[in-house]
Chain A
Amino acid sequence: MSDSGDRNNKLLSIAEAAKFLGVSRSTFNKIRQENDIREIMVGKRPRFFSNELISVLSSRTSSVDLPKVQIRSKIALNILSSDSVDLLEVRKNVFDLRLISQIDPYGALSLLCNLIVRAKTEKRIELLVDDKHICQYLKTIQFFYQLEKEDRIFWDRGILKGASIQDTSILMPINAIKVKGGERIIAENLLKLLRQQGFKDTVGRAISVILGELADNAMTHSHEILSERVCYVSAKRFLWKESNCIIIGVADPGLGIPASLKQNPTYSDFSDRGALLESFKPHVTSWKDSPRGKGLTDVLSIALGNHSLLRADTGDIGLSMNLIKSGDPKISFNEPMASVTGTRFGLILIDTNFEKTDRKVVDRLISEKVGEL
């Protein structure tokens, strides 16, 4: 997150920071000593970014009493944001969903997978909810429904009883695909819906290819770490840069791309970042001596042709591809929205007629980036 780009990210004095965290000034000074908190000097006085204080809070568990006041800084969990779901963890294993200001399918699936994976190892995870818009929205897209199967995740269901919203931007609530082939039925239904809503066939068809390939990959690899195959998908429409767009999220809590790819001896020496990037090249697959490895190439070919934006998180790696400017794709690594096993994809497609980019271009682009690592 840029320092100035978030209205909620304020510069605070020592007194304000202490109040913000709900601790005394002396306690706050102790926190400063124990944590590497960035200080901005304004004149001779240090100032602190409120969002960074929340990060400190989420990593602290015992040395200082935790704040009892509600933290008001808001967290954006959408594909255009660099916020992390960690910022919601106001206390160990306590996630305050009331802090979310914006969320899209990519953010919702990142949060969902984070909670599901955490629940495999933690005894109890609590979610703080209210009856306001975001929690209502999460209920409407079946976020809580997917969590109901997790017996270690708790929230006040009474608050959300009856809460739901009419939101025509929701194209597809969160669906859990548990059998291979389930993605095709979902893709067919989504395609029909997009057509009804006036989206161009090119876009609807591209999305069905993306959904099919990503979900098929996820279903192939998710059971390598879990006892069952599962893949979550969701989609929403929105306006972005004055264009009608669709954002689609596909996630699985499985092994993750790098670990999976490195099962193939050809890629066993790759770094995790290198393996993630390499997986987008044609014919790169975790299967030895196999003609596989085209799904992610096709996804990137479509994203490049559509001049859109693609994010892929796996483990503690975040990969962002900004393909908006023709001939000037920007590919960078950053913090993932959720640092958990498995893979989360977020893709924006703009409603326009387009052709997917040639695979050779994808191959060249990724080869260059891998070479830079």
Chain B
Amino acid sequence: MTIIKLNQFGSVLTGREFGADVMKGLASSIIYPVCLDFDGVESIGSSFGDEVIPVLALKQNNKIAVKNANETVRSILKDVADDAGIELEII
């Protein structure tokens, strides 16, 4: 499983356009399945999450695994996953 360390994009991940840009950057080099590592990420916004989480999950049976997510990040990820109808696996 490919681990994607999201802290390479910063510790505060907000903004829809930024999320779309991050996803574009990732898209060309991803080998599925992936797991998102939130180590070093303090917070995430729904708008950012919307542009990344469902897009990745779509390529792996609507599931996505995440690790090292703090409570604030988890809470937003759950909302994003609920909205998109995807399964969130918290490691």
The residues of A with any CB-CB pair to B shorter than 8 Å are 180-181, 183-184, 187-188, 191, 201-202, 204-206, 208-209, 211-213, 216, 282-283, 291-292, 294-295, 297-298, 355-356, 359
Contact = CB atoms under 8 A, between A and B. Distances in A.
Contacts of A212: 12, 14-15, 43, 45, 48
B83 A187 contact: no
A179 B19 CA distance: 15
B17 interface: yes
A211 B47 CA distance: 13
Given A205-B43, A216-B45, A359-B79, A291 B50 contact: yes
B70 interface: yes
| Complex A-B, nearest 4 residue pairs according to Cβ-Cβ distance, in ascending order | A212-B14, A294-B46, A205-B72, A205-B43
B77 to A, nearest CB: 12
Nearest to B15: A216
Contact of A181 (B11, B15, B45): B15
A216 B70 contact: no
B1 to A, nearest CB: 27
B74 to A, nearest CB: 10
B17 A295 contact: no
B72 A216 contact: no
Interface of B: 10-18, 42-48, 50, 70-72, 75-76, 79, 83
Contacts of A216: 14-17, 45, 47
Given A208-B42, A208-B43, A209-B45, A183 B15 contact: yes
A297 B13 CA distance: 17
Contacts of A282: 83
Contacts of A204: 42
By secondary structure, the A interface counts as helix
Contacts of A187: 12, 14, 43
B82 to A, nearest CB: 8
Given A295-B46, A355-B75, 5 more contacts: A205-B70, A209-B44, A212-B15, A213-B46, A282-B83
25 contacts: A184-B18, A187-B12, A187-B14, A191-B42, A202-B72, A204-B42, A206-B72, A208-B14, A208-B42, A209-B43, A209-B44, A209-B45, A212-B45, A212-B48, A213-B46, A213-B47, A216-B15, A216-B16, A294-B79, A295-B45, A295-B47, A297-B46, A298-B45, A298-B46, A298-B76
Q: Residue among B11, B43, B71, B79 with the most chain A CB within 10 A?
A: B43
A188 B11 contact: yes
Nearest to B50: A291
A126 B44 CA distance: 42
Given A208-B12, A212-B12, A216-B15, A292 B72 contact: no
B71 A355 contact: yes
A209 B59 CA distance: 27
A201 B12 contact: no
A209 B45 CA distance: 6
A295 B46 CA distance: 7
Contacts of B70: 201, 205
Contacts of B50: 291-292, 294
B72 A184 contact: no
B47 to A, nearest CB: 6
A213 B76 CA distance: 12
A181 B19 CA distance: 11
Contacts of A213: 14, 45-47
A291 B18 CA distance: 16
B11 A191 contact: yes
